[in-house]
Structure 1
Amino acid sequence: MKLGVLIAIVLGLILATAVIGYFGVGQVLHALAAIGWHSFAALLAYSVLPILILGSAWFVLADQPPAKFGVFVWARMVRDAAAEHLPLSQFGGFVIGARAAILHGVGATESFATTVVDATCELLAQIAFIGIGITVLVIRLGHKSAHDGLVWASVVGLVLLAVGAGAFIVLQRKSGRLLEKLAERFLPSSVAHASAVAQAMNALYERPGRIAAASALHLAAWTASATGSWIALRLTGVELGLAEVLAIESLLGAVRSAAFAAPMAIGVQEAGYALVGPLFGLQPDMALALSLIKRARDLAIGLPALLIWQGFEAKKLIGTALEGA
């Protein structure tokens, strides 16, 4: 498995380098230089908004007092950092995020159950977000164009994603034993009675108001994240409409979801931007620069979060060892 991950990372780096080389290294570097450190700092500050919204979406699913709100924001940050920067699958990020919440006093059963349901709500919101992107794509390209194949492929992909989301929900509701086994496999020391996880998830689905609220917040988070890309482009002098950027980000999100097995989406993200951006008037060099700016932002936020999380883990281990001594 480790060899497979390493090969995937190398292939992704080769693809990313090839894409950047094809469209011109100098042009991409020039586009990157246009943002400047002050503008990059402003982009980092704005990134707090989608993080807060994502934490809120997870928090509304939990039965926790308001004082615990910050725990879910922090754990969500760790989840995304792990999924983005560690050679793990998205599922690995979910487990690490759940673990981060547990370290700060959230029960293991509730942490794991709300993580799974939160991921489902995020998927439902992404379906809606991709639908918005396809609508903008159709309006921009017209009903008859050379890109009809892309439009139909996007629609088919959206339908398949919706079917997959429905199947995932049914799996959670009807196949509790499978989820119990997953809990036992990935959180053996934290979940004493794994059946409680399935029961907790079923209890959440009996509260549709919370599911709707979490899904709406995730849609807001997707929109806020895309708005961050629009801000980054404005800071580099690109005057592209917000609707176009929302469409680019939604379609790119679909591409990244389809290539979820690619570690950190290396190469996939760059190729996606280079192919989708020009459809909405974003030049390939600026699209690639946007991809690299987003990666730099994610690193600036994600790496410190992972280091701090490791510090909490080490503190927990030391405390446990001292208690057992």
Structure 2
Amino acid sequence: MPDDPRFATTRIAERPASAPSWPARLGRRVLRRLPLVGTLLGLGLGVWLIATNDLAAVADAFGRVGPGGLAAIVLVRVSVILLCGLAWGCVVQGLAGLGQARTGAFVLLRLVREGINVLLPVASVGGDVVGGRLLTFWGTTGTLAAASILVDMLFQAGTQAVFALAGVGLLLQVGGEAAQALATWVLRALAVTALLLAAFLAVQRSAAARAAGGKVVKALRRVFRGEPVDPSPPGGSVYDALDAVWAPGRRGTLAASVLLHLAAWGLGALEIWIALTCIGVDSVSFTEVVVIEALSQAIKSAAFPVPSGLGVQEGGFVLLGSLFGIDAGTALALSLIKRVPDIVLGLPALLLWQALEARRAMILPPAA
């Protein structure tokens, strides 16, 4: 009988789930295609910059660096990654739930984070998400791993903003309309960055901001994934870990993490200085090199949807180099030289990532 409850139950059970709403479908498509679109746009910009300039000049400047100069630049990048790994470890040093993770684990996983961010078509935070997951392979709780990534990303972005601000201060001493215009643009971008960082910090420290942030995240999940919004405040597990990280008695270790990140940003300027020295450009002072490094990194970070800042980094070097008398060919060579450590260290980092995943799969028993 059609009105029999048994048949009604069967019809309900066999009824397919409703299709996601069109905003959810659109959001998924945008998120899936954004890295690819960014990659294509970046590659197009990079190819255009190289094609519209003297290729012979770019190749000549690149060749002058030689194997010895490139090796020195790679060693500088290794030192930068080491400092960043130590900074990450300081965030959770001595906390319960850390498991067997020690300094070596944080340095190795920092290498993996960098490799994913610079070589794979993902946004600049893709490697950080993977790094937090891999940290749990050392027995670190998932909540503490997530908290460590959130705080480390905050410190990294915050110190980069400070480094960029220092670069602006040095740039203002150069004078000229172009330098003034660039400094004004960067200062406006830093003002927006400061607001975002303040909100990021508030979400980690303030209970009210956490609740508001949780509602925003759930609303976005409803738009992009078609998931219902739960009006209740977000769970406290990750926030408990954040409270442990931000405990008043840990200010010394957190300050050490900030200082290590600042040192890493400053050390990156050595890569440009070594390259210019090998090329034979002695008209640029080390102070001007710091300006180039600080602002080129800021420009690259502003274009975070573009994987590894493809094309954007090259354009930034051409723009900044023109302020200090560096021709476009040499500026493009500098950008390409900066990418050498990305490849030399990034490829082993990706292999390490896969090795860790394979080892984890061998240890864990198969699901029943």
Q: Same fold by TM (over 0.5)?
A: yes
Q: Specify the alignment match of 2:275 in structure 1.
A: 232
- Confirm or deny that 1:126 pairs with 2:160: yes
Q: Aligned residues, how many?
A: 313
Shift of 1:82: 1.1
**Which runs of structure 2 are paired with 1:274-313 in the superposition (5 Å)?**
274-313=318-357
User: What CA distance in whole angstroms lies between the structure 2 residues aligned with 1:310 and 1:93?
Assistant: 13
Q: Radius of gyration: which is bigger? A: 2
Matched, 1:259 2:259: no
Deviation sequence 1:186-205 (CA, Å, 0-9, x none): xxxxxxx9632111112322
Displacement of 1:179 in angstroms is 6.4
| In structure 2, distance between residues paired with 1:170 and 1:49 | 32
Q: Residues 78 and 306 of structure 1 are in contact (CA less than 8 Å); yes or no, is this contact kept in structure 2?
A: yes
The answer on whether the counterparts of 1:57 and 1:215 sit within 8 Å (CA) in structure 2 is yes
The sequence identity of aligned pairs, in percent, is: 35
Unpaired runs of 5+ residues, structure 1, are 186-192
What's the counterpart of residue 175 of structure 2?
141
> Could you tell me which residue of structure 2 aligns to residue 188 of structure 1?
none
Q: Is the 8 A contact 1:223 1:246 kept in 2?
A: yes
Name the structure 2 match of 1:115: 149
Question: Which segment is superposed worse, 113-122 or 153-162?
Answer: 153-162
1:24-81 alpha-carbon deviations (Å, 9 max, x no partner): 1111111111111222122222322111110111111113499811111111111111
Deviation per residue, 1:174-230 (Å, 9 max, x gap): 344556979xx9xxxxxxx96321111123223333332211111100001122221
Please tell me whether the aligned partners of residues 112 and 352 of structure 2 are also in contact (alpha carbons under 8 angstroms). Answer: no
The Cα of 1:159 is off from its aligned counterpart by 1.8
- The 1:14–1:198 alpha-carbon spacing in structure 2 relative to 1, beyond 3 Å, is same
**How far 1:146 moved relative to its partner?**
4.8
What root-mean-square deviation, in Å, do the aligned CA atoms of Structure 1 and Structure 2 show?
A: 2.3
Say whether 1:201 aligns with 2:201: no
Kindly indicate whether the alpha-carbon contact (under 8 Å) linking 1:129 and 1:219 is maintained by their aligned counterparts in 2.
Answer: yes
Superposed counterparts of 1:177-196, under 5 Å: 178=213, 195-196=236-237
* Aligned partner of 2:80 among 50, 58, 77: 50
Alignment match, 2:182:
150
- Does residue 38 of structure 1 match 2:82? no
- Contact 1:110–1:200 (CA under 8 A) maintained in structure 2: yes
The residue type paired with residue 36 of structure 1 is G
Which amino acid is 1:106 matched to?
Answer: T
Match of 1:19 among 38, 49, 71: 49
Deviation at 1:281, TM superposition (A): 2.8
Structure 1 CA distance for aligned equivalents of residues 178 and 115 of structure 2: 39
Greater shift, 208-217 or 120-129, is seen at: 208-217
Q: Contact 1:176–1:195 (CA<8 Å) still a contact in 2?
A: no
Give me the TM-score of the superposition, normalised by structure 2: 0.79
Amino acid at match of 2:76: Y
Output the TM-score relative to the length of structure 1: 0.89
Q: CA deviation at 1:234?
A: 1.5
Distance 1:83 1:155 in 2: 26
